[in-house]
A and B are shown apart, each in its own frame.
Chain A
Amino acid sequence: MVTYGTNPGMGVPVTGRIPALADVEPGARDDLERALAYMGLEAGSSIAGRKLDVVFIGSCTNGRIEDLRAAASVLRGRRVAEGLRVLVVPGSQKVKKQAESEGLDAVFKAAGAEWRESGCSMCIAMNGDQLEPGQYGISTSNRNFEGRQGKGGRTFLASPVTAAASAVAGVVTDPRTLADVAAQPVAVWRSAAVEAH
């Protein structure tokens, strides 16, 4: 599931489409219209393929060791898309140490992501980790309200695996299609990463 709106209930499968106004109950249309205006999205369009500026993998919701392993399994040997900022923030110091003992930090760094101290970070636009007005971010946290990740910032909520796949492609991506993505120009980045190591 990926959210398209401004509350966590406004979500569709990553293969799905944003609801058309006719798909929702009359009482919910105002909400949908307002959410899509804020998000800069069109009713009825697909969620996959949306351009991203920032990827946030972390938060108390999805910053467990299992989440980092899942994200690392996608990013291992791959490279994040050019121009994309990718933050990986462990859920706690304990998770951070465990991840480092498993070498996950090296995987994220080799992929071009930032490996950070544990904390709230971009879940709540803390420590300067935030979206600029109009920017799009995909986030493994669980809050996507207006302005939550920075004034005017637009949040897609998604799983760690979907966020990691989207980090590679630079757009909202179904992780099951990632083999195709990797065959695109991203492959150049991959070889660069291998050389760097």
Chain B
Amino acid sequence: MPEPFAKTTSRVIAIPRANIDTDQICPARFLKITDKAGLADALFFDWRFTPDGKRRKPPSFIDERHNAGRRILLVGDNFGAGSSREHAPWALRAWGIRAIVSTSFADIFKGNALKNALLPIVVSPERHAALVALVAANPDGEWTVDLEAGQVKLPGGESFLFEIDPFARTMILAGTDEVGYVLSNLPAIEAWEAAHPARVDTARA
């Protein structure tokens, strides 16, 4: 069962290119892995490692030392396009990412992300451009993503609101899933079931 998640404060990794597909996020050859923790190494593998599997020198991209521990990604349009693999959000989560800001997400990726308590935050193209400029000007500024308030607070005091599917929001805040949600209503379900035969037993009527 996942942990409840409500808020994260972090510096941001900006990859403002569009159409980053799931084969870049987690290449297909890692799909046989089912241990999610081990997937952190697979994240953006071919961008970080040479063709013979060695870490690029100097470390590139998310491996750059200043990116360690960052929890928020700022990416271009249509993030998560391509193959519908849950390994993509698994790898992002395993590496430590909790929220991704873009102008749009591929639909299946978005669904998979929400099931894994990874927040897909959609902003307008205008706001996206402003955020990319903000990170360029202030690469070490800390943002706070607050799921409860549906708000992102930017360094300097500015903030904006975002929307997440309300049921997914409830699940993530509670640290549960659909099954957990149903089970949390068990007393009501059992009470209903206990009283049910009397409601339908027409033979006695």
Q: By the criterion CB–CB under 8 Å, are B24 and A145 in contact?
A: yes
The contact of B23 among A28, A30, A133, A146, by CB within 8 Å, is: A146
Q: Which residues of B contact A28 (CB under 8 A)?
A: 18
Q: Which residues of A contact B177 (CB under 8 A)?
A: none
Min distance, Cβ A67 to any Cβ of chain B, angstroms: 20
Docked pose: A143 CA to B17 CA in angstroms: 19
Task: Say if the beta carbon of A31 comes within 8 Å of chain B.
Answer: yes
Task: Say if the beta carbon of B140 comes within 8 Å of chain A.
Answer: no
Q: By the criterion CB–CB under 8 Å, are A146 and B17 in contact?
A: no
Q: By the criterion CB–CB under 8 Å, are A147 and B17 in contact?
A: no
Q: Which residues of A contact B19 (CB under 8 A)?
A: 7, 31
Q: Which residues of B contact A76 (CB under 8 A)?
A: none
Instruction: Assess A143 versus B82: contact at CB under 8 Å? Given A7-B19, A125-B28, A148-B23.
Output: yes
Q: By the criterion CB–CB under 8 Å, are A30 and B51 in contact?
A: no
Q: Which residues of A contact B82 (CB under 8 A)?
A: 7, 143, 145
- The number of A-B residue pairs with CB atoms under 8 Å apart is 39
Min distance, Cβ A180 to any Cβ of chain B, angstroms: 36
**In the complex, which residue of chain B has the Cβ closest to the Cβ of A130?**
B29
The contact of A147 among B18, B27, B81, by CB within 8 Å, is: B27
Task: Say if the beta carbon of B46 comes within 8 Å of chain A.
Answer: yes
Docked pose: A147 CA to B51 CA in angstroms: 10
On chain B, which size bracket covers the interface?
A: 10 to 19
Complex interface residues of chain B between 25 and 46 (CB less than 8 A to chain A): 27-29, 31, 46
Q: By the criterion CB–CB under 8 Å, are B83 and A146 in contact?
A: no
Interface of A (DSSP majority class): loop
Q: Which residues of B contact A31 (CB under 8 A)?
A: 17-19
**In the complex, which residue of chain A has the Cβ closest to the Cβ of B78?**
A7
Q: By the criterion CB–CB under 8 Å, are A7 and B17 in contact?
A: no
Task: Say if the beta carbon of A116 comes within 8 Å of chain B.
Answer: no
Q: By the criterion CB–CB under 8 Å, are B29 and A7 in contact?
A: no
Q: By the criterion CB–CB under 8 Å, are A152 and B51 in contact?
A: yes
**In the complex, which residue of chain A has the Cβ closest to the Cβ of B18?**
A31
Docked pose: A164 CA to B146 CA in angstroms: 54
Q: Which residues of A contact B81 (CB under 8 A)?
A: 7
Task: Say if the beta carbon of A124 comes within 8 Å of chain B.
Answer: yes
Known: A31-B18, A124-B31, A147-B27. 4 other contacts (CB 8 A): A7-B82, A34-B17, A143-B23, A146-B23
Interchain residue pairs with CB less than 8 A apart (9): A27-B18, A28-B18, A31-B18, A143-B23, A143-B82, A145-B82, A147-B27, A151-B27, A151-B46
A interface with B by C-beta (< 8 Å)? 7, 27-28, 30-31, 34, 124-126, 133, 143, 145-148, 151-152
